[in-house]
Each structure stands twice: as C-alpha cells, then as structure tokens.
Amino acid sequence: MTRTLIFASLILILSACAPVLRQEQGSASVSTPEPDSINEEPALTETLTAALTPTETLTPSPIPPTETPIPTATSTPVESLKAKVSVEKIVCRYGPGRNYLYLIAFNINTPIRLLGRTEGKNDWVLVENGTQDCWLDSTQVSIDNGASIESLRMVYPGEYKIPVSPYYGPTTVLTAEREGDEVIVKWVEVIVSPGKYENEYMFPYIVEIWYCKDGEIYFDTLGSRVPEITFTDEVGCSVPSHGRVYIQEKHGYAGPAEIPWPGR
C-alpha cells in the first residue's frame, strides 16, 4: 500500500513539471540565437578606424605670395645715333663746349654718327671722327627719326679723355668761396706762352662745372684769361655740384685741378 502511494506521488510530481520544461524549451526556440563565437560580432575597432580615417589627404590651400611691385623698366642707352649737319658749317671740338680747341668743321648735310653725351644737362654730343672723335652742339644737327640725345650713353667725364698737354702741368686751386648762389674760385697762375695759343681768342684756362639750376644738375665749360672765375650755383639739387680747372694750350690740356666745392 505504501509503495503504491509513493509511486503515485512521483507520477503526479513529474506530470506537473513536464509543461514547465516544454514552456522553457518553447521560449528558447523563439529567442535570437547567440553567436557561436565572439569573432562573429562586428569588428568595432575596424569600423571606428574606417570611419575616422579620411579617404583622401587634405592639402592646405597655399597662402598667396605677397605681391612684389614690378620694377619700372629703364630704357637702355643706345650705342649711337645717325644725324646730319643742319647749318652751313659746324665746328667740332676736343671737348664738350665752345671754349675747347678746334679740331675740324663739318658742312651742311654731312652725315655724322653721334656716340655719347655729357653727365648733366648739356647740348654737346660726341661725334665719330676717325682716330680722334670730337664734340659739337646738337642743336645744329638733325637726328634721324627725331631721336633725343638723352638716349645716348654718358661718356664724359669718364670714358672720353681730352688730349693731354706735353708742355704744362696742372694748376692748384687756392680758394673756392660762396656768396649766396655765387661761387668764386681762384687758382695758381700758369702763364701760357704766345706760341702755344691756337689763336688770339683761345682761353688759357678752361673751367668745367656741374652746377645746380632749377633743381637739376647742368654741365658747362667756362673760359678765363685770369686765374679766377665767378659763376652761379643754386640750392635744391639731390646730387652735389662739383668742378675742375684745366690749363689749355694748342697741343692739349694740363690737369685737371679739382675745385673743393664750398658749402652753404
């Protein structure tokens, strides 16, 4: 009897537990299956790396360079200009001024070639003339194509040399004084003998001056028969004035003696 009761109790207990097991199994059958391995999970590190790594290299835009002003073109001096004499006769001299010694004369319409000009504003130009080039006044010639002598090279002083006297030495400037715009220069006297004069009109002293006028430097040659001279030199030029003294005789020039330019 007792065994029969125990057996019946066991059957009741097992019957009660069976539905619960089937329910748990049914619940498990509809749940999302777990991956077999952790390797099946998305690779988060690789995904983030791919998302954060740019697909192309970004190059910074170049900074525009600072604009440099284009330099103003400077005209290159010409080697020569063609011209013709436009007056009946013109004298060509050893230096750039009418007080230098006479070398040769050209007749009207003579074709000539101009080679250079002086430093400072001046009308005299150097002319090609065989073994001894010479200077004439450009206002008495007609230049081809209406060209200006300003386009010529500056050859004096510097490149062109006036003939040297074999008989005399240079003088010495004694004083150079200023009275307002006037400059007074005195030098040691050198007596040129009458036989060394080209003609009665020749000056034994030639004074070359680069002086200030209207804010620009001009060049001029002055003749003197005595060992002193006075001329005008204004203020207002950015380039300093200067000058020198030559002894002149018919064979050439002695010097120069530089003028110690007076200040104001």
What are 184-209's pLDDT values in tens digits? 999 999 999 999 999 999 999 999 99
Q: Residue 185 and residue 227: Cα distance in Å, rounded? A: 8
Average pLDDT of every residue of the chain: 82
Q: Residue 193 and residue 240: Cα distance in Å, rounded? A: 36
Sole residue written with tokens 């073994």: 131
Residue 35: what pLDDT?
43
If pLDDT is split at 50, 70 and 90, which confidence band does 62 have? low
Residue 9: what pLDDT?
52
Identify whether the C-beta of residue 145 lies closer than 8 Å to the C-beta of residue 137.
Answer: no
If pLDDT is split at 50, 70 and 90, which confidence band does 54 have? very low
Query: What number of residues does the chain have?
Result: 264
Identify whether the C-beta of residue 251 lies closer than 8 Å to the C-beta of residue 166.
Answer: yes
Q: Among the three residues 104, 128, 156, which one is the final residue of a domain in this structure? A: 156
Residue 200: what pLDDT?
93
If pLDDT is split at 50, 70 and 90, which confidence band does 230 have? very high
Comparing 70 with 146, the larger pLDDT belongs to 146
Residue 128 pLDDT exceeds 50? yes
Identify whether the C-beta of residue 155 lies closer than 8 Å to the C-beta of residue 112.
Answer: no
Q: What is the domain range of residue 238?
A: 173-258
Sign of CA dihedral 228, 230, 231, 233: positive
Per-residue pLDDT tens digits for 89-103:
999 999 999 999 999
Domain assignment present for 61? no
- Contacts of 23 by beta carbon, 8 Å cutoff, 6+ apart: none
Q: Among the three residues 156, 186, 208, which one is the final residue of a domain in this structure? A: 156
Q: Residue 209 and residue 213: Cα distance in Å, rounded? A: 12
Indicate if 102 and 137 belong to the same structural domain.
yes
Residue 264: what pLDDT?
81
Q: Centre a 10 Å sphere on the Cβ of residue 79 and count the other Cβ atoms it contains.
A: 10
Domain assignment present for 38? no
Identify whether the C-beta of residue 96 lies closer than 8 Å to the C-beta of residue 219.
Answer: yes
Indicate if 193 and 227 belong to the same structural domain.
yes
3 state DSSP class of 86: coil
Comparing 23 with 96, the larger pLDDT belongs to 96
- Contacts of 109 by beta carbon, 8 Å cutoff, 6+ apart: 84, 85
Quote the number of domains for the chain. 2
Indicate if 224 and 188 belong to the same structural domain.
yes
Residue 57: what pLDDT?
44
Residue 70: what pLDDT?
43
Q: Among the three residues 93, 126, 156, which one is the final residue of a domain in this structure? A: 156
Tokens of 65: 């360079």
Closest C-alpha to 193, from 165, 229, 216 = 165
- The amino acid present at 119, given as its one-letter code, is E
Indicate if 183 and 250 belong to the same structural domain.
yes
Domain assignment present for 180? yes
**What's the predicted TM-score (pTM) here?**
0.71
Q: Residue 97 and residue 210: Cα distance in Å, rounded? A: 13
Domain assignment present for 142? yes
- The amino acid present at 202, given as its one-letter code, is M
